[in-house]
């Protein structure tokens, strides 16, 4: 059983670590079939926001709506637990792969954990999708960063999630790998998946995003729909003092 | 789904260990070194002090177990794979149970080497009552690993985890070590005191039930930040 939802809603969401406000009263939406960017300098709260949406971190206040399912400070994600996590895919800067296992073993393991009906077959298809079927039996530790990233993306997508959360997915990738990842994200948008992308790479994000949420010091600066000239917009918004 | 999750985690852990053999070799090397050092220190003219063997055996298990616990979660931390496990739609206690069983398998394999080694070096007839010895080792190892797996998972993000793990683990597992040592020592007596042996075994089983239950209950909230 997995949760199904067409929209992710974040309302007045805050997370404090002691006295530090990692994110404070953030509100935005991500609709199915759209790519929303989470932009801001280091320490803006992007990774905390990804952790909150991935159910790894509990909110201090505010709420997250996954369609009809609500997660807030009083109702931690654990209550919806498995059903919610079955609908979310996460790709972080750390790739969440076991270097000692082969690409096929890694994907089969995670497909099994996500309850995919035929894990081995799904893993083979995912590797074919990533263009790595010829290296299926090689240990992931022997792969280049770009190849590992492709396997990690397939790991995040192997259970066909409704919501995909990506934290700095372009870091360390060459142009070809970046291009492949952008194409894959566009494919997800066409397939109706909601994608939230935290990145510093404004050049890559320019033209890819349907909306951009700008964060600074854990607070929302602005939300821009169909952003253009992203770098100029970013500079202008980041220069603005946050209330 | 719970049992499937447990099985997948155990199988993955054992596959990774078979490939790298990192934890098995370091744990075994450390445990054997520990036993050898005690043997050099305590055995005089082929005779060891009475009841030294059970103490040495359990000290070696505790020290080697602590090393193995730290390494197994360090492995999950390096590529942040623990986050991936927590993101999976399986009951989170299943992840704990899988890690616990993987740790048990590793420690029992180490004990398979340690018991004959201690018996040989300390001239102790440890293998005289294999049924009772298996019971004491299995329940004692489960108790130690149950507490250790929970603490090692909790401390995985702490910078001082290597220091904190033994500091937290040893005081809580003192009953396991005492019951393990006393139970094993009874096996070396000429006349087997079955009633007393049952008492120590019952203590170990009680400890196991309490701490496995507690760990399964607390793992989910403890692992959600």
Instruction: Tell me the chain B residues in contact with residue A82 when contact means C-beta distances shorter than 8 Å.
Output: 1, 89-91
Tell the burial category of A140 from Cβ atoms under 10 Å away from its Cβ (0-12, 13-18, 19+): buried
pLDDT tier, A67 (very low <50, low <70, confident <90, very high otherwise): confident
pLDDT digits (tens, 9 = 90+) for B109-124: 999 999 999 999 999 9
* Cα of B218 to nearest chain A Cα, Å: 12
Q: What is the DSSP string of B91-117?
A: -HHHHHHHHHHHHHHHHHHHHHHHHHH
pLDDT for B220 beyond 90: no
A51, B225: Cβ pair inside 8 Å?
yes
3-class secondary structure, A95: coil
DSSP string, B54-78: HHHHHHHHHHHHHHHHHHHHHHHHH
pLDDT in tens, A217-229: 999 999 999 888 8
A191-217: pLDDT as tens digits:
999 999 999 999 999 889 999 999 999
pLDDT of residue A38: 95
Indicate the average pLDDT of chain B. Answer: 93
Q: Which residue of B has its CA nearest to A140?
A: B79
Domain residue spans of chain B: 2-222
- Say if the ipTM goes beyond 0.90: no
pLDDT at A77 over 60: no
Instruction: Give pLDDT, residue A95.
Output: 86
Residue A136 to residue A121: CA distance in whole angstroms: 12
- In chain B, what percentage of residues exceed pLDDT 70? 100
| Reported confidence tier of residue B209, pLDDT bands at 50, 70, 90 | very high
Residue A243 has pLDDT above 80, yes or no: no
Q: Give B68→chain A minimum CA distance, Å.
A: 17
pLDDT above 80 for A85: yes
- How close A232 comes to chain B (CA, Å)? 34
Regarding beta strands A88-91 and A163-167, do their DSSP bridges make them parallel or antiparallel, or are they unpaired? Answer: parallel
Choose the mutation target among B85, B87, B88, B94 for the interface with A, i.e. most A CBs under 10 Å. Answer: B87
* pLDDT over threshold 60, residue A99: yes
pLDDT reported for residue A73:
78
DSSP string for residues in B12-52: HHHHHHHHH-HHHHHHHHHHHHHHHHHHHHH-BTTBPPTTH
Given a cut of 80, whether residue A241 has pLDDT beyond it is no
A91 touches A169 (CB < 8 A): yes
Q: Is A157 on the interface with B (CB under 8 A)?
A: no
pLDDT value for B38: 94
Residue A135 has pLDDT above 90, yes or no: yes
- CATH number for A1-81+206-243 (one of 1.10.3720.10, 3.50.50.60, 3.40.50.300, 3.40.50.970): it is 3.40.50.300
Query: If you average pLDDT over every residue of chain A, what do you get?
Result: 90
pLDDT bin (cut points 50, 70, 90) of residue B222 is confident
* Chain-chain contact of A82 with B91 (C-beta, under 8 angstroms): yes
User: Given pLDDT bands bounded at 50, 70 and 90, which one contains residue B80?
Assistant: confident
Choice between B167 and A177, residue whose per-residue pLDDT is larger: B167
How high is the pLDDT of residue A39? 94
| Structure confidence at residue A76 (pLDDT) | 58
Contact between B181 and B116 under an 8 Å Cβ cutoff? The reply is no
């Amino acid at each position: 059983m997995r949760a199904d939802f067409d929209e992710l809603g974040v309302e007045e969401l805050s997370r404090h670590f002691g006295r530090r406000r990692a994110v404070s009263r953030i509100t935005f939406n991500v609709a199915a079939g759209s790519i929303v960017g989470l932009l801001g300098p280091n320490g803006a709260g992007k990774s905390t926001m990804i952790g909150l949406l991935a159910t790894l971190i509990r909110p201090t206040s505010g709420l997250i709506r996954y369609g009809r399912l609500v997660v807030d400070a009083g109702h931690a994600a654990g209550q919806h637990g498995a059903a919610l996590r079955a609908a979310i895919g996460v790709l972080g800067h750390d790739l969440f792969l076991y270097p000692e296992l082969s690409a096929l073993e890694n994907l089969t393991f995670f497909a099994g954990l996500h309850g995919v009906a035929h894990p081995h077959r799904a893993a083979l298809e995912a590797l074919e999708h990533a263009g790595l079927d010829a290296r299926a039996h090689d240990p992931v530790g022997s792969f280049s960063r770009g190849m590992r990233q492709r396997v990690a993306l397939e790991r995040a997508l192997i259970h066909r999630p409704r919501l995909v959360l990506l934290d700095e997915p372009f870091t360390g990738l060459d142009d070809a790998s970046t291009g492949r990842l952008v194409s894959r994200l566009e494919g997800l948008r066409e397939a109706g998946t909601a994608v939230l992308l935290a990145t510093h790479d404004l050049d890559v994000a320019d033209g890819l995003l349907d909306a951009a949420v700008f964060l600074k010091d854990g607070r929302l600066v602005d939300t821009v729909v169909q952003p253009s000239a992203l770098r100029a917009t970013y500079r202008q918004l980041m220069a603005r003092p946050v209330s | 789904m719970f049992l499937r999750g447990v099985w997948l985690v155990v199988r993955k852990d054992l596959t990774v260990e078979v490939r790298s053999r990192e934890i098995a070799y370091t744990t075994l090397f450390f445990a054997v070194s520990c036993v050898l050092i005690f043997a050099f220190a305590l055995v005089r003219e082929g005779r060891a002090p009475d009841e030294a063997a059970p103490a040495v055996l359990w000290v070696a298990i505790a020290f080697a177990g602590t090393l193995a616990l730290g390494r197994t979660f360090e492995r999950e931390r390096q590529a942040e794979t623990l986050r991936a496990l927590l993101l999976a739609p399986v009951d989170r206690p299943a992840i704990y149970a899988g890690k616990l069983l993987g740790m048990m398998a590793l420690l029992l394999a180490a004990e398979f080497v340690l018991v004959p080694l201690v018996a040989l070096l300390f001239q102790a007839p440890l293998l005289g009552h294999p049924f009772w010895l298996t019971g004491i080792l299995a329940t004692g190892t489960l108790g130690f690993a149950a507490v250790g797996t929970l603490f090692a998972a909790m401390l995985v993000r702490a910078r001082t985890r290597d220091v904190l793990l033994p500091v937290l683990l040893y005081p809580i597992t003192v009953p396991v070590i005492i019951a393990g040592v006393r139970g094993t020592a009874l096996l070396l007596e000429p006349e087997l005191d079955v009633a007393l042996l049952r008492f120590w075994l019952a203590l170990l089983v009680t400890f196991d039930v309490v701490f496995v239950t507690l760990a399964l209950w607390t793992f989910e909230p403890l692992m959600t930040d």
